[in-house]
Amino acid sequence: MVLNGRPPVKRMKRRVTADRCDFLTFSDAGEGFSAAGSHDQPFRSSLRSFLSRHAREVPSHERNLLTWQIAYRMGDLDCRGSSPETVAVLHVVEEDVMNSGSDYCDMCRVVGWSGHPVCWKRYHFIIRSDSSSLDGFRACNGAKAVAEGPTHLLHGMVHMNGFGHLIRVNGREGGSRFLSGCDIMGFWDRLCKTLRVRKVTVMDVSKKYGLEYRLLHAITSGHPWYGNWGYKFGAGSFALTADAYRDAVRTLSDMPLAPFFTHARASRTHLQDVISFYWSISERRLATLRDLLHFILDLLHAIHRKAVVSARKKPKNTALLLRPWAEDDINRVECAMMKVLQAAGSSRWIRWRTLKGAVSQTGPAELLDYCLKELGGKSVEGMVVHVQCNPETYVVEYRLEDEENAATEGIVSSTVPTRPRYLSEDHILHDLKFLYEALLQPKTMLNFKPQESREIAHSSAMKLLDCKHFVKDYEFDSLQIKNPDVIRVLCGVELVDQAKDYTAPPPELIVLPTTATVADLKTEAMKAFREAYIIFERFHAEKLLDFGDVDDSTNVKFLIGMNGSVCVGGRCHGSYVLQRYRMERGRGRWTVNCVCGARDDDGERMLACDKCNVWLHTRCAGIHDSEEAPPNYYCGRCSAGGRGCKDNREVASGPFGCRGG
């Protein structure tokens, strides 16, 4: 086989923008984007078809890289400042693993795919931060240049077997002028479906507003941000499971706010002030931590959307309809409040609770709260109600001001904003960060009572921060497809001449005509595994396991029907040199046996015992992440056996990429 052969690529002439697919809407079901029958193609075949139909080849100075470009129009983003000529350029880079200088995939190792054989190729899908035009593009040359792109708007990598990793997404906060993170994720998700990618992992270390967003989003939405596109728990550090992740999300999301006010104190705390403030301005009850954070994020989103709703376009779900007070009742309460403010004069601020108490006899508490929230901007006798949040006491305050001064300061009575007009983005962000550090961040979490609740919250927050690896399974959907014109076989392989620690590769999808025989199945199985994996370069299929000595002329349809699975037994007649590509974990031998329950590398900081060479987490060994690993270390089992530490020994280097201090 030709290992470095180029897939057939037609050299396209420069197209006009109108002929390009739209970045925001293209899909595998529209715009002629996928070839007929592509549902019945594995990733490597779909990719070749995709490139031949849509890409133009770009010269590369690296012999181990082939590069292509595909341009997408972004004319539908006019409202964001783009023009009809604006394009987004997808760069597809094919990396030849044997010549790349990087044999193994660290991302496969830490998500449980370390037993996969090494593939011939890796394909990188990149949208660069400066790719608003096709002109002046200089191809990413060198595998290192491909990997090191912190400013890329998108960087995804897929192995030739269809298993991949989403490495980077940068929206507006990451430098994108036109595309949001949601725009880019939607594109990536549709691209994966189009190319028949099998599974994709992502390490969620995203930050928003300077906070760990996987923690914040999990509490407000029940899943990480990537969960909006179907990514689910994949692997947890420190032996955490999917059940532990779900329990931690539920615990923090349902944490009640009322207990923060039950214990007696001489004075209110800042935490109580902040919670009370958002209670006072919310039109619905904020009972849990999820309710509070969700409300604050909604306020931030409203600011970003610059949404201003006029009184005549007020949403139907406002408090007025939820609380159907009579117009006369509302007018009576507002008139009473205005009289109190007039009596106080324009130089004195009146607190929310004081004003509410002064008119408490005019109506029920719910009606008073509603009127207080709607009071800002109302006018009486040439004076307008001004509202502010006192930055020191976190109390909403009111006073009357002259209409001319009010107009200068932007107090307009004819509009009702979607958020209180006295709240700025900086104010809300300051409160969000305070609540995050006080109630979520394990390192800064306040010592609130009861202590047991605080310990549970601390443990749950640690678990959510320790769960970074999420995965989306595209393969499940493709396996549900029924096609009466072909036989779809999920073919596994078992080598009869492999070592005891051999791990079988993932099954490959093989598509056969309805007249295919067992001999045809063996031939296609050999072709599929030879194309995908280096170690299978000379793989020879000998028999179908679980079917005995079935004759090669037997029709496959009679054995498994139109959709089924088989396991092919065979041998790899290859050079010993190729054994280095047997697994993504490499040829090293190591043992992980940590007290937390971890039995394999999970990407966290580890060190090895100097006596038994067993690896464990530094955190589980009582070594803080900010501390250097000791020059020598003995695990609990070995130190209990009477073996002490020697000061002149060095740290075991081990097989992992960044271990020890």
Percent of the chain with pLDDT over 90: 38
- Looking at residue 76, its pLDDT comes to 55
| Segment among 4-18, 139-153, 625-639 with least mean pLDDT | 4-18
CA distance 631 to 652: 9
CA distance 588 to 613: 13
Q: How confident is the model at residue 87 (pLDDT cuts 50, 70, 90)?
A: confident
Average pLDDT estimate for 406-423: 46
- Would you give the distance in Å from CA 594 to the centre of its chain? 28
Percent of the chain with pLDDT over 70: 77
**At residue 116, does pLDDT exceed 70?**
yes
Q: In one letter, which amino acid is 98?
A: M
Structure tokens at 619: 């955190």
Cα within 13 Å of Cα(77), Cβ side: 22
- Find out whether 199 and 474 touch, Cβ atoms under 8 Å: yes
Long-range contacts of 210-215 (CB under 8 A, 24+ apart): 210/433, 211/432, 211/433, 211/436, 212/441, 212/465, 214/464, 214/465, 214/467, 214/468, 215/440, 215/461, 215/464, 215/465
Average pLDDT estimate for 203-213: 91
Q: How confident is the model at residue 640 (pLDDT cuts 50, 70, 90)?
A: low
**At residue 594, does pLDDT exceed 70?**
yes
**At residue 321, does pLDDT exceed 80?**
no
- Across all residues in the chain, what is the average pLDDT? 80
Of residues 72 and 4, more confidently modeled: 72
**At residue 538, does pLDDT exceed 60?**
yes
Average pLDDT estimate for 47-56: 90
Q: Pick from 388, 391, 461: which is nearest to 430 by CA?
A: 391
CA distance 458 to 452: 10
Q: Give me Rg for the CA atoms of the chain.
A: 31
Query: pTM for the full model?
Result: 0.79
- Looking at residue 85, its pLDDT comes to 59
Tens of pLDDT along 118-150? 999 999 999 988 644 433 334 444 445 555 567
**At residue 425, does pLDDT exceed 80?**
yes
**At residue 111, does pLDDT exceed 70?**
yes
Q: How confident is the model at residue 412 (pLDDT cuts 50, 70, 90)?
A: very low
Tens of pLDDT along 227-260? 999 999 999 999 999 999 999 999 999 999 988 8
